Structure 1
Amino acid sequence: MTNLEVHTAPVPSDLDGDLASLRGDCARMAPHWAAPDRAAVRPVKPSRIHGVRVPASSARLLDAMSDYGD
């Protein structure tokens, strides 16, 4: 005989939520995620820092995007 019982999580009525519910979700998930060991940060010589070059097609794409979303 096949078990047709399905268990689903309750769906909140407010799908957008608020900051308090987001913080609660993060607090519940934090123990499930392992943070990588912190690597030593070494300064970079200014002579190794160069400008950023973006291909023209990418620049046009980025220029067409809004700064803060729609």
Structure 2
Amino acid sequence: MTNLEVHSPDSAELDGDLASLRGDCARMAPHWAVPEKILSRPVSPSRIHGVNVPATSARLLEAMPDYGN
């Protein structure tokens, strides 16, 4: 197991730019496991019968300008 150094974040580190985010992702990428093969397959449209959305969620989305108005 690798011993990783952990630093407490300063407020300046939390306001990083895109380059620092890409650097963080590049350092983390070797630790992400890639599945050997994808087990899920597409669902036939004949098996899709609709979507049930709770009324509170529908009202919430309706109130959002990007979705409802």
Normalising by structure 2, we get a TM-score of 0.58
Larger Rg computed on CA atoms: 1
What does residue 56 of structure 1 align with? 55
1:43 deviates by 3.3
Structure 2: 5+ residue runs without aligned partners? 1-5
Q: Which amino acid aligns with 2:25?
A: C
RMSD, matched Cα: 2.7
1:20 deviates by 1.2
Q: Distance in 2 between matches of 1:10 and 1:42?
A: 42
> Does 1 or 2 have the higher relative contact order (CA < 8 Å, sep 6+)?
2
- Whichever structure has more helix as a proportion of its residues is 2
What does residue 25 of structure 2 align with? 26
Aligned residues: 61
What does residue 3 of structure 2 align with? none
Normalising by structure 1, we get a TM-score of 0.58
Q: Which runs of 4+ in 1 moved over 4 A?
A: none
What does residue 16 of structure 2 align with? 17
1:47 deviates by 0.5
Deviations 1:5-50 (A, max 9, x none): xx84563735321111111100001112212232155332221123
Structure 1: 5+ residue runs without aligned partners? 1-6
